[in-house]
A and B are shown apart, each in its own frame.
Chain A
């Protein structure tokens, strides 16, 4: 079997398209899942979709067939068929001329199957729309979190989620007493007094989270603000430790001044 190279022949010559399509598909899938950069994920997505397009185009390939546009002799508007029609008209005027005609099966063998190509036109359009939307999302993420690296993004998302999922009671109580049980921040000591325990119902003390939502800013000032329990604390004095954490390297890029946040970013807490 291997002696005469039948498998090699089949894989590399007859089915090369399919081999390439599978390889491309796997490259794309790997990039989408394993790469940590969002843009690289999108490149993987494009490769993935292109592989499928290659597959569809490959299945409609036919030897010695032409694109599915009427050949000269089949074209009802062409010169060849006009000449034939004039000849035909002289004898028989029953059939309408120059109308789209259905080809015989012997004639259609010379054309490639148009349907997969048409499907792929649609799939390309869908792919473009997806890619455009994904790039727009990347832009939003870059504006909102200052990064398109998944690792950094996850750290930031985890923080904002922890803040978001903090109990409204725990926020109020921890600001008065000891650190709350489900507060993730060990530094939440109760210096600032916002509201006494009895009167804290729902919806109280949420202004702190609202103000602390924007995570674009990398400065130490807003690091202090991020702490939901340090509302009344003076910015800059207590946040030295947070700022030195490895997961949040202070970056120079895309720093927005603290306090100036777009209304979109504030909505996140709601």
Chain B
């Protein structure tokens, strides 16, 4: 029981240090404040105890003091707010060119889909020093994807995609936890994240998967489910041509304009009548209940692959320097 008794989590991502710095600052600040108050109270309790000071001096207050000890803490708090906000902004803004990995949480396991086609359950292999963006959803209830060593956590919500990103800086194996109570085996919905050197990662990838990349799986599904019947690329079909649409604005039947992002593609498959493209009829069948979350991810990845060479291949040999735009 005494071996491995951590008092501090391992620091294994690019912004873990920033988070720890703020934490340490707050520990020191709180420690000093607490000590100051405790010392003052102790000193007053001893110095002004009844045996030593029978008569109390009635002091009503001091507006100067009140204003000082309101404004100064407020100033300090605002500074802490700003610091925390800057880190948060960084944590929630995936850099361009980040490799993408799909995550599906379900009671009670994590399913991960690499765009190269690998699928993992409760385990995630990633290369070191590469920006990784997670595209996540839940199949049932709310879960939360938490890697303490990376200092990231993001709820996964059924019905939509949420995102998180990290850049692992230290090879090793780290805990993956579910951090939003989700039922019987919430505490069993744990796994490990393995960070590997690029060479090892490439080897792991090539240990391979018969079904091909995620986009290829998506393409197969696209044909199998009959999507290609209406969404043609050669002539104008009964459905819009999906080439090159990812990330671009789309005008809808009722006049609104939306961006064709991950959530849009997903929604169009599950509830097609919600956003109908201008000039088309609302005849697309509803696929809610007919495709699993993993199949949805494959379809989304396929549609994205029709737009440009996929930004998000973690094992891609042309490794860009971390964080640089595509």
Bound pair (A, B): no
